[in-house]
Amino acid sequence: MFKSPTTHSRIAVIGTNYVGLVTAACLARLGHTVIGVDVDALKVGRLQRGQLPIFEPDLEDIVREQLAAGRLRFTLDYAEALSGAEVAFVCVGTPAGVDGEPDMRQVQSATASLAKLTPAGAYLVVVNKSTMPVGTGQWMQMTLNAHARRTGARFSVVSNPEFLREGSAVSDFLHPDRIVVGGEDSAAVEQVATLYAGLQSTPIVRTDTRTAEMIKYASNAFLATKISFINEMATICERVGADVKDVAQGMGLDQRIGPRFLSAGVGYGGSCFPKDVMALERLATGAGVEPRVLRAVMDTNQYMRQAVVDNLRTEMQWFHGLRVGILGLAFKADTDDVRESPALDIARTLLDEGAHVRAYDPAAMGNAARLLPELELCADAYAAVEDADVVLVLTEWPEFKALDYARVHNSMRQAVLVDGRNLLDSGALQALGFRYRGIGRGRGPETQAETQLVPSRALIAA
């Protein structure tokens, strides 16, 4: 399926969760010899037995296949991972820290380990896949150089940001739209580009370290902007009696706009967009730039979560004693990741205000239970909606589309359905007797009658 690169490298991958594990498994699939190193003993133990710490389609098969082929191993021991390695990919976390600045402790710790445990006299290309503020690569180069003076090791730091999406991470890694490689040492940049030789006809953007770091932030900020933009259009649609789904379709067919990331909903979440937009906002502010667009993007995203709760309050009058069924806890479909998930925020607010909340998610319940233990979790969607006054659909899992909604209707106390992802067929649900509330679905006799539309001043004047 993939062209095997003519040269196979010995690669260490530092950090073996979403990005690190996908990187390690896929690089092994491309023919390289890969050893993943992590500080989490439980995770490493499980990985050595072929058990994954995350849910990600197709990943388990590749990990097991590559473990069996002897091209992939996992260890807790940096010295073992770095012995003989030509390249080390840094894939540790860069979560949001205080005041929105990224928390760089994992990167600092990985850099210290690289400095200390790279064998004396070795030459190592250090590849930053983690999303890091502009300037981090140069800081790492200087830090490693300072240590290298004592050990005689040599390092070249290259930025190679990752663009995979959870839920389709393997496919994204093996069929990327582009590969970005940034560095000041052109030989090291070429060495990294060559690692991907098995991925034919993928454009490679070669640039300097700071620009590569910036490409990653700019890409995520743009996608987040698209989401907040359509969400603001949805809010307007709701007030003026228009349907944002048709608006998005009508916009998206314009090739300059494109249809993707134009699904209105309760907003973006996950481990990347929220922290990366905030980090870029901080970076800009630190550089003396007023990031007006980025602030509006974050503000709109926060507003969408709150608006769902506020609209529900208007609809149901009070939350105390209200029985709520939540379908979907992951921040999006096909992942078990609940980091910054709008669903958890909404559930937390409802619980705080005295609602009785029961929830179901096909993959994310274990992670949700750790973050929100007071949430009652159910074995399936039907159990979560039983006796509910209102059902909230908060993740676009395909299985929620396929539910028997007549059964759902019959088992509820009151049939209010808030479709926070515009996933369902509003007409069919209304025909079944649901009070259906989507995001930005202002069309239809019921909602248009409620719309107090003030004609434009130009019309009145005419």
Annotated catalytic sites, by residue?
Answer: 272
Lay out the site mask for ligand NAD across 93-122 (x = CB under 6 A, - = otherwise): xx-----------x--xx------------
Q: List, in order, residues 6 or more apart from 366 with CB less than 8 Å away.
A: 336
Binding window for ligand NAD (CB under 6 A); candidates: 158-166, 179-187, 243-251, 431-439? 158-166
Nearer to ligand NAD (CB atom), residue 117 or residue 293: 117
x/- map, 37-76, ligand NAD, by CB under 6 A? xxxx--x---------------------------------
Q: Nearest approach, Cβ of 165 to ligand NAD (angstroms)?
A: 6
Distance CA 459, CA 451 (A): 18
35 vs 230 by CB, closer to ligand NAD: 35
Q: Which two tokens stand for residue 231?
A: 């969400």
Strands 154-159 and 123-128 come out as parallel
Kindly state the smallest distance separating residue 352's Cβ from ligand NAD, in Å: 27
Query: CB-based burial of residue 324 (10 Å sphere; 0-12 exposed, 13-18 middle, 19+ buried)?
Result: buried
From the list 92-100, 236-244, 326-334, 401-409, the region that binds ligand NAD by CB under 6 A is 92-100
- The residue within the footprint of ligand NAD, chosen from 12, 27, 62, 91 (CB under 6 A), is 91
Q: Which of residues 9-38 bind ligand NAD (CB under 6 A)?
A: 14-20, 37-38
User: At its nearest, how many Å lie between ligand NAD and the CB of residue 238?
Assistant: 31
- Decide whether 162 or 345 has the Cβ nearer to ligand NAD: 162
Binding mask 164-193 for ligand NAD (x = CB under 6 A): x-x---------------------------
| Residues 347 and 353: beta-carbon distance below 8 Å | no
For residue 72, the cross-strand partners are: 34
Draw the binding track, 268-287, toward ligand NAD (x: CB under 6 A; -: no contact). ---xx---------------
**Residue listed under structure tokens 């690169």:** 5
Of the pair 20, 31, the CB lying nearest ligand NAD is at: 20
Instruction: Using CB under 6 A, count the residues that bind ligand NAD.
Output: 26
CB 360 within 8 Å of CB 425: no
Could you tell me how many residues make up the chain?
462
What is the per-residue burial (b if ≥16 Cβ within 10 Å, else e) of 212-244?
Answer: bbbbbbebbbebbbbbbbbbbbbbebbeebbbb
Distance CA 301, CA 6 (A): 46
Q: Which is nearer to ligand NAD, 164 or 199 (CB)?
A: 164
Q: What is the 3-state secondary structure (H, E, C) of 393-442?
A: ECCCCHHHHCCCHHHHHHHCCCCEEEECCCCCCHHHHHHCCCEEECCCEC
Name the site residues for ligand NAD (rule: CB under 6 A): 14-20, 37-40, 43, 91-94, 106, 109-110, 130-131, 162, 164, 166, 271-272
